[in-house]
Amino acid sequence: MKKAFVFPGQGSQFPGMAKDLYDTLGAAKDRFEQANDILGFRITDIMFDGTEEELKQTKVTQPAIFLHSVILAESMGDAFQPDMVAGHSLGEFSALVSAGAMKFEDGLKLVSARAQAMQRACEINPSTMAAILGLEDDVVESTCAEIDGVVVAANYNCPGQLVISGSNEAVQKACEVFTEKGARRALLLPVGGAFHSPLMEPAREELEGAISATAFTAPVCPIYQNVTASAVTSPEEIQANLVKQLTAPVRWTQTMQQMIADGAGEAVEVGPGKVLQGLFKKIDRKFPVSGVALETS
């Protein structure tokens, strides 16, 4: 039976996150302090003692979730033996570092650069995202195609839950149309911009150079990347898919289905929160999923 390790994305942060890791494990504390040095500010102060509002800033949120996830995976020691890995959006970077496809320092620098590039892209194009619940994927896709302006399917989270992304006006209009078409909910999300849409093109261009300059190696197991939702092991392919990730949809529904089809018998979520555990349960209520309990002995 194969074991999948999965890593959460933006939205899983919470005040006090990873403080137990820092306080109980010397190696984890060293890693966090190394991260503070690399980033040039004490991100740990915001993670442990900051408000929800402070944690919500993209430049803080993304490195914070990455650090929590990667350092938690490291703390597992020999218990971290993945047969396959995947990460939701930002979580893909956590998955890649944890599976040995790039170094911790390089991953953190890329995540920080990604967060800042996305922040700048949001300032260029005022934009948003919305969760559409209770409609088939193809209905959401075809409706987006009919709306004037930029609005696309961005996150395939689980069957019946798809996030759209685009300009403020186009997303607003799409929500009205989805409600008319019988969506259970069409809910604007509290995000800073249109992630995983063509409006992230300035960020993609900015990040492409940084990704191209980063050294990638073959991971210890296949990674199921957001862009393809299929197993990838080639460092060149991983790198190319990572560049595309910012403007392409997160195919998480397809990723979970493919992992199960390829023999995954259980999944372990590594990082803050339980979002991905909930999404696996939507695919198959009986599928065994869990989080990571911190070993303090």
> Residue 79: which domain range?
2-123+198-290
Coil, helix or strand for 257?
Answer: helix
Residue 58 contacts by C-beta under 8 Å, 6 or more apart in sequence?
Answer: 10, 115, 116, 118, 119, 122, 192
> In the structure encoding, which two tokens stand for residue 207, read together?
């990040």
Same domain, 6 and 89: yes
Phi-psi region of 250 (alpha: psi -120 to 50; beta: other; left: phi over 0): beta
Q: Is 54 exposed, middle or buried (0-12, 13-18, 19+ CB in 10 A)?
A: middle
Residue where a domain stops, chosen among 138, 168, 188: 188
pLDDT at site 123: 87
H or E segment to which residue 43 belongs: helix 43-49
Same domain, 136 and 254: no
Q: What's the total number of domains in the chain?
A: 2
Of the listed 75, 89, 127, 167, which one is catalytic? 89
Same domain, 21 and 35: yes
Whether 68 sits among the annotated catalytic residues: the reply is no
pLDDT digits (tens, 9 = 90+) for 90-129: 999 999 999 999 999 999 999 999 999 998 998 888 899 9
pLDDT at site 184: 96
Task: Please give the single-letter amino acid code of residue 288.
Answer: P
Same domain, 11 and 75: yes
Q: Which residues of the chain have pLDDT under 50?
A: 297
Is 295 within the bounds of a domain? Answer: no
Is 297 within the bounds of a domain? Answer: no
CA distances from 28 to 16, 21, 23, 162, 211 (A): 15, 6, 8, 35, 26
Whether 165 sits among the annotated catalytic residues: the reply is no
pLDDT digits (tens, 9 = 90+) for 15-34: 999 999 999 999 999 999 99
Same domain, 151 and 59: no
Same domain, 79 and 139: no
Same domain, 265 and 156: no
Residue where a domain stops, chosen among 160, 188, 216: 188
Q: Is the dihedral of CA 116, 112, 241, 191 positive or negative?
A: negative
What CATH number is attached to the domain comprising 101?
3.40.366.10
Same domain, 143 and 45: no
Q: In this structure, are residues 268 and 6 in contact, taking their beta carbons and an 8 Å threshold?
A: yes
Same domain, 176 and 213: no
pLDDT at site 244: 96
pLDDT at site 297: 44
Same domain, 279 and 152: no
Distance separating the N- and C-terminal Cα atoms of the chain: 28
